[in-house]
Amino acid sequence: MQEFNSLDWDDLKIFLHVARGGSLASAAKRLRVDQSTISRRIAHLECTLGATLFERSPQGLRINEAGERLLCHAERIESAVIAMHQDVQRGGSRMAGRVRLATMEGIASLYLAFRFAPLRQRYPDLTVELLTSPQAVSVNRREADLFLSFFRPPGQGMVSERLGSFQLGLYGSQDYLAREGVPERPADLARHSFVTYIDDLIQLDSVRWLDDIIRNPPVSFHSNSMIAQMNAAAGGIGLVLLPSFAVTGRSDLVPVLHEKMSTTRDVWINVHGDLQFVPRIRAVSSFLKAMFKSDPLMQADNSGRKMLDALLVGDAGAVALQSG
């Protein structure tokens, strides 16, 4: 075993990327170095510590018990290095750097993406990386600096704040409604078909929002993409439940039973406690908070979900509907 004072922070940084990515290739891509360098630095770290940190297999690397223990210490060191770097730079007047913001595809593409111009104008050297993910993103493991979610994620060391909430309602194309009829009451939905997510690919229960409106709906189209669902409904294949922000400015989708049937989702902003006061991250989070606070679309009343009040039995089976 080498002397412990030969422990290198660069080795620990590489270890963190391998542990989070689960492979040498993912760490090499993120750090922009070749894979052999990653392998050599991990071997050096293991030699320095006198312990194997990963189980190796054709499928990749799986962190072992010793690696998990080191991961806890390495993340605290990483937080301290980040805090030190930011503290040294805090006296400067420039706001610069990258902030990785992760969230779901729909809100990223249909709401957030075209709203960052004012932030860029104010901080021209600050860059936002908008990451879309169908699953929860861990800010504790530095998969992103900020995570916008439709739920409050569990986890120690994380700071979460509710930004607002948005309403979801049913929509259909004019062609579809002319062909199938316009529903006038919740019971009418039993004879309609729906567009929704692919059930076995759903990784977050918070997007099972159609279940808030109707149970066991007749489904004519599935997709793991909200944008694909919206366009399929616009093409006339069925009714779709969408956030209000998704259809703003669209004329090809008509609201259906919005006064009687709707649901809501909260939006939470999540950041690691060690990073919440880092200037570049605080600038982005403050921008998001102000944007949501000033937008009526993100201030829906979520005090009461519509109560189940009807049970219909149709060709598709038992369908429970919510109505006002």
pLDDT tens-place string over residues 192-246:
999 999 988 888 888 899 999 888 899 999 999 999 999 999 999 999 999 999 9
- Bigger pLDDT: 138 vs 270: 270
Q: What pLDDT is stored for residue 320 in this prediction?
A: 41
In this prediction the pTM is 0.70
- Report the topology of domain 167-263: D-Maltodextrin-Binding Protein; domain 2 (3.40.190)
**With 0-12 CB in 10 A as exposed, 13-18 as middle and 19+ as buried, what is 235?**
middle
Q: Are both 96-165+265-298 and 167-263 of the same fold?
A: yes
Mean pLDDT, residues 91-97: 64
What average pLDDT does the structure give for the chain?
83
pLDDT tens-place string over residues 17-27:
888 888 888 88
CATH of 96-165+265-298, one of 3.60.70.12, 1.10.10.10, 3.40.1010.10, 3.40.190.10: 3.40.190.10
- Bigger pLDDT: 43 vs 96: 43
Q: Which CATH class is domain 4-89?
A: mainly alpha
Nearest to 284 by CA among 31, 97, 78: 97
**With 0-12 CB in 10 A as exposed, 13-18 as middle and 19+ as buried, what is 236?**
middle
